[in-house]
Amino acid sequence: MLYLMQYLDRSRFDISLYLLYPKGSLLDEVPEDVAVYSYWGEHSPPRLNWPGRIFSNQVRHLTQHLRAKPVDLVYDRLFHMALIAGPAAKRTKTPRVATIVSPPNEDVVRSEKRWLAWKKRSLRKSYLSANGLLAVGTETAASAALFYNIPRDRFRIVTSPIDVTRIESAARMPWEGSSLDTERKHIIAIGRQSDEKGHRYLIEAMSLYTKISEQGDAPPVMLHLVGDGVLRKELESLTDSLGLRGSVLFHGVQANPYSLLAKSDLMVLPSLYEGLPNVVLEAMLCKVPVLATNTPGGAGELFRRTGLGHLVPRCNSMEIAQAIYRRFANPEPWLANLEAARNYILENHSMDKWIGELSDLFESLRRRESR
């Protein structure tokens, strides 16, 4: 979303941003010419509440916003906002493009414990009503088609972009965190610390790696966890219980994680599921070897097709530990494709290509609906 606001051609588009909460680590990066509106910036929690009241108020609020402003097109990228944007755009007859970024049979089912059946029906209606329906990968599209019972040919694949210039500039900056122990190899994992990201399997793998490395010629390692989330305290407790406090560092959210990423010897993505994780693409751009879990979509789909990264089964700490051992005991296979991986990103995930594709789609929908 931030990339769209930063790079859409202002001679073609005038942009505003609608949020539920007027906060977030990226809010300061929203361009000054983008008007920001939010539901909770204008409302307080009701004194009396009942199921569906806040949701109905949010749909009404966005509907009023679309009627008050000369909006030609609505774009939403997460299912939480699709629930609201779908009915609001339908009521105002505003053309809409929706993107599905993660397989809903995992993402929606795991995160939405209450009113799941209702939300699933509502999301199906929302996506069916969209004028353009996008997915970040073929497996995500297949999952969404099956989960929502939407024809597969309704989906258009538009992969995620990488801001090459910004990332490479940031990667050249010095790392301002704790100094990097030159006697160790450095592993990095970047992402929200929540259950689906699988960090506990990676931390357990660090303990197993210590035992495996004692049997062969493998160096000591340091794991850097960049990000925050609801599981951070639990992950810190697990680290302490395994005696890994000196080998696992929690850095929290970093404004510039790329300076540490570029200096790392391995990036690990232990997710249970993914759409198309940008951190994998960013590591490939920075020529850092990638180890990821073999998810149906995301890195699993990408590396099964290209062979540009290394895969292990999901939810398996021992397999992760053994792969880390192979990375450092026999590094040649891990380093052989780094240049090819970088070239793949430049050819397939450039910002210009992505912005051009979405810009043309937005323009075509606006012209079609205005006839």
Encode pLDDT of 52-89 as tens digits: 999 999 999 999 999 998 899 999 999 999 999 999 99
Q: Is residue 192 exposed (0-12), middle (13-18) or buried (19+ Cβ within 10 Å)?
A: middle
- pLDDT grade, residue 346 (50/70/90)? very high
Say which DSSP state 290 is in.
E
Average confidence (pLDDT) over 171-196? 94
Fold agreement between 2-161+350-370 and 165-348:
yes
Domain residue extents for the chain: 2-161+350-370, 165-348
In the chain, which residue ranges form alpha helices assigned H by DSSP?
Answer: 2-7, 53-68, 79-92, 104-111, 116-128, 138-148, 164-171, 199-213, 232-241, 258-261, 278-285, 298-306, 317-329, 332-335, 338-348, 351-370
Calculate the average pLDDT of the chain. 94
Say which DSSP state 194 is in.
S
pLDDT in tens, 17-51: 999 999 988 899 999 999 999 999 999 999 999 99
Distances (CA, A) of 95 to 7, 110, 368: 21, 30, 9
What pLDDT is recorded for position 276? 85
Confidence (pTM): 0.88
Average confidence (pLDDT) over 154-162? 94
Report which of 111, 100, 208, 114 is spatially closest to residue 155, judged by C-alpha positions.
Answer: 100
Report which of 19, 3, 154, 22 is spatially closest to residue 84, judged by C-alpha positions.
Answer: 19
pLDDT in tens, 276-334: 889 999 999 999 999 999 999 899 999 999 999 999 999 999 999 999 999 999 999 99
Q: What share of the chain in percent tops pLDDT 90? A: 88
Alpha carbon dihedral 117, 123, 124, 127, in 10-degree steps, equals -170
Whether the predicted pLDDT of 371 surpasses 90 = no
CATH architecture assigned to 165-348: 3-Layer(aba) Sandwich (3.40)
Beta-carbon contacts of residue 272 (< 8 Å; ≥ 6 apart): 106, 195, 196, 197, 198, 293, 295, 314, 315
Report which of 216, 228, 150 is spatially closest to residue 189, judged by C-alpha positions.
Answer: 228
Average confidence (pLDDT) over 168-179? 93
State which fold the 2-161+350-370 domain adopts: Rossmann fold (3.40.50)
What pLDDT is recorded for position 45? 93
